Structure 1
Amino acid sequence: MRLILLSILLFALSAGGASAKYSFCNKSSYALSAAIGYVDGDRLATRGWWRLRPGQCKVVLTETAKPGRYFVYAEAIPGHKGPLRTWSGDTALCVENNGFFNLRNQDVCRDDPMRQRKFFNVEVTEAAGGAWQTDFTEASTYTVYSAEVAGVQRLLSDIGKNSGDIDGAMGRETQRALANYRKEKGLPDGYNIDDELIDALIEDANSSEAKLGLFYCNKTNNAVWSAVAESEGDEKYRSKGWWKIEPGDCAKIIKGALGKDHYYVYGLIEDPAGERAMTGGEKNFCTNLVMFNSANDLSCADQDLDEAAFRRVDIGGAESATFDFTPAMFATSQDDAAQ
């Protein structure tokens, strides 16, 4: 489920004037990583990631917010339970998957869809006077303060320290959970919320999530384009791809504790002589030349998609699993791959 509720608010200039800038404000219960796209001279640039604690506002561009179109994207940190939450749109732009980035060449991700994110459009008006703020919100309406409380409630729940409601209200159960966590982490007594507390919660949530999920590792000497199919019950499956994994690298394909007893795996080796497909597949699923996310309730032909045989991987109900792509799994030539 993608969360795309947002509020784009115009800064009112005070009587004394306000400095021109572009700001983000996180009025959600999620800790976020956010990025922005904007016209820089004759190029379209992207910049990020800014970490936004719940309830935090931050200047992301100190230059005057000129009238025209900007592009904004945010996603929840991996440590939050459940599917990845995003604030997104329809414009695919390049990012780096880790660390701060400032990209002025949108061709760098052309061949790697996992380095693209779908940004939403923001139209900055002349009346803004050069200062603009984009708020990230949820269906629940939070103020900056209540978003901070709701964010702490969510993070405590993510690490199994609180089972109460995520409502932004500092009730007794939240106070008790906060006091216990502060004591456990050696923080000053009480149930007050500060940056140190939130950062500790984020670190714990991300550390817990890092150990869970389905991982692919590339043990070959070439880049591997990988895909996965997982059960949705009653013989229904959904196939997804592609994740590009460089030689020696690993990637998380499914986040969170695994809830299925098996998955289906597929891959293509990127070889100078041409792509070589993974062999030994037992069940056919839909694929595509570009990114895909396809249910098998319709035939691949009816969806205008290709088809490939995926390998079944049994994990026995484990919360995490790693699948290694090795050279022996792939056809030795394009002719073999076609057989």
Structure 2
Amino acid sequence: MRKQVTLALTLAFALSGFPATASAQTSETDTNSVEIINPANTASWNICNETSFILRLAHATLRDGQIKAKGWREAQPGQCIVETIVENAPRFLYAESSPIHRGGIREWKGEATLCAKDTDFESAATDNCRVQNLETRPYFAVKPGEDTTTLIEPADFGENALTAGTQRLLRDAGYKITAIDGMPGRRTARSLREFQKKEALDDLPEGEALISALAISAAAKTKEIGLEFCNKSDSRIYTAIGLQEDGNWTSRGWWELAPESCVRPVTEDLKGLDVHYYALKESLPGPANDVTAILTGTGDAAINERADLKLRSIATIPAQFCIAEAQFSALGREMCLESGYGVANFRPLPTDKESLTISLTNEDFAQSGPAGLRQ
């Protein structure tokens, strides 16, 4: 049995797996309830990538008598990978595009929340993700008898996925590709010749070797464009962005930054995007034995009650966008309160630069905002 799982049009503008909407199986599934299955019977499960993206795959299935999630494996456009699993055991899959692609992370997801993290991991479904210092991802359920799961885009490139992936990576690397359609043409061929000359290659690689070579070039180019936040303060910072997409204002957050770390939430040319940004900074606890600090709610005993510090507003007429307590993606910048969101004053970015790095320091933050505006 073969099933196709399609990417929806909503994207995640983040390297950290920010949520996006993708159509998949969305029925709620109890990941802790496992039917009695003979673990000696195994089967091969093919996971095929018929998209134009390099995908990172994580899956969960029966291991050692319990459901365990594991990641990551990479699947190039047009490539199938094989997992050996217990026959007829419950299965869950999550896929996201590689961060080397412009435009943010795309997700193929569902509604089964299981542990994950950006680097390789393995975790039982019964684990407390936070205690294990893990994040979560929204996996989708796969029918136990399914032997092939195919990940696609709305364009459904099918056997042309390799060509579509080549076109996307050429565009990500800065070459002039106007259409990602999976159809080889003169512009694609010309761009490949330019790539071969620029990289001083005697022969142009083919297939997986070509995708790997283009991925290196695309990754280098992605680091040269977009918006990067760096935390130069003394505590954690949570950032959000607001920008126009298809003529509509959208705000998204939060991207968490530990001190001396950086994150790149926008991975495309900033020219003409009209991007705004906002940030909150965690308040540091007061002295542990300072009775006055504790009684006034500023010490260690009240750290959970302390409000985050807000980004200072520097514009005469600030740009207001919607925000929420947890991770959010809000469409529009009006009627925020009526829609259940909070409101914050975002800072504008220049519109004539293709890339910017914003270093946030203690001096960028002012008075406390409403408690609980970021979880």
Q: TM-score band (shorter)?
A: 0.7 to 0.9
Residue 202 (structure 1) aligned to one of 186, 193, 215: 215
Count of residue correspondences: 315
Q: Deviations over 1:146-171 (max 9, x none)?
A: 22122112222332435364333444
Between the aligned partners of 1:167 and 1:232, the Cα distance in structure 2 is 22
Amino acid at match of 2:73: W
The whole-number CA distance in structure 2 between the counterparts of 1:300 and 1:102 is 39
Contact 2:236 2:282 in 1 (8 A): yes
CA distance in 1, matches of 2:221, 2:345: 30
Alignment correspondent of 1:326: 361
Q: Which residue of 2 aligns with 1:239?
A: 251
Q: CA deviation at 1:245?
A: 0.9
Is 1:37–1:44's contact at 8 Å kept on the other side of the alignment? yes
The answer for the alignment partner of 1:229 in structure 2 is 242
Matched, 1:256 2:268: yes
Tell me the equivalent position of 1:187: 201
Structure 1 position 87 matched with structure 2 position 108 = yes
| Partner Cα separation in structure 1 for residue 56 and residue 221 of structure 2 | 18
| 1:202 positional shift | 0.7
The 3 A distance-change label for structure 1 pair 322 and 181 is closer
**Secondary structure at the residue paired with 1:94?**
strand
Q: Which amino acid aligns with 1:66?
A: N
- 1:292-307 residue pairs with structure 2 within 5 A? 292-307=328-343
1:57 equivalent to 2:71? Answer no
| 1:72 corresponds to 2:104 | no
1:45 equivalent in structure 2: 68
The one-character-per-residue Cα deviations of 1:278-305 (angstroms, maximum 9, x if unpaired) are: 1533444332221111234542331122
Listed one character per residue, the Cα deviations across residues 44-71 of structure 1 (whole Å, up to 9, x for unaligned) are: 4322221111111112x32324333x22
Change over 3 Å in CA distance of 1:301–1:51 after alignment to 2 = same
Q: Deviation of residue 72 (structure 1)? A: 1.4
Q: Residue by residue, what CA displacement relative to the aligned partner does 1:72-99 show, whole Å, maximum 9, x if unpaired?
A: 12222233333533222233333222x3
Measure, in 1, the Cα distance between the counterparts of 2:356 and 2:174: 22
Residue of structure 2 equivalent to 1:96: 117
Tell me if the contact between 2:237 and 2:279 (Cα under 8 Å) persists in the aligned partners. Answer: no
User: Which of 128, 142, 153 does residue 122 from structure 1 map onto?
Assistant: 142
Distance of 1:124 and 1:229 partners within structure 2: 41
TM-score (norm 2): 0.71
Change (3 A) 1:326 1:134: same
Kindly, what percent of the aligned residue pairs are identical?
A: 28
Equivalent in 349, 365, 368 of residue 314 of structure 1 = 349
Q: Secondary structure at the match of 1:37?
A: strand
In 2: Cα distance, 1:26 partner to 1:262 partner:
32
Contact 1:28 1:54 in 2 (8 A): yes
SS of the residue 1:161 aligns to: coil
State the superposition RMSD in angstroms.
3.5
Partner Cα separation in structure 2 for residue 86 and residue 94 of structure 1: 16
Q: Is the 8 A contact 2:173 2:222 kept in 1?
A: no
Flag the 1:323–1:65 CA change in 2: closer, same or farther, 3 A: farther
The equivalent residue for 1:136 is 151
Distance 1:44 1:218 in 2: 37
Change (3 A) 1:38 1:173: same
* In 2: Cα distance, 1:199 partner to 1:233 partner: 31
* Distance (Å, rounded) in 2 between the aligned partners of 1:22 and 1:140: 24
Structure 1 length-normalised TM: 0.78
Q: Bigger CA drift: 262-271 or 172-181? A: 172-181
Specify every segment of 5 or more residues in structure 2 that has no aligned partner in the other structure, as ranges. 1-8, 11-20, 26-40, 286-302
For the residue of structure 1 that corresponds to 2:163, the secondary structure is: helix
Task: For 2:369 and 2:196, locate their aligned partners in 1 and report how far apart those are by CA, in whole Å.
Answer: 59
Q: Is the 8 A contact 1:228 1:240 kept in 2?
A: yes
Question: 1:314, CA displacement in angstroms?
Answer: 3.2
Alpha-carbon spacing, 1:180–1:4, altered in 2? closer, same or farther (3 Å): same
Counterpart-to-counterpart distance in 2, 1:316 and 1:140: 31
Q: CA distance change for structure 1 residues 329 and 77 in 2, over 3 Å: closer, same or farther?
A: same
Read off the aligned partner of 1:119 and give its amino acid letter.
Y
Letter in 2 for 1:294: A
Give the letter for the 1:276 counterpart: D
C-alpha change, 1:334 and 1:304, in structure 2 (3 Å) is closer
Gaps of 5+ in 1: 8-17
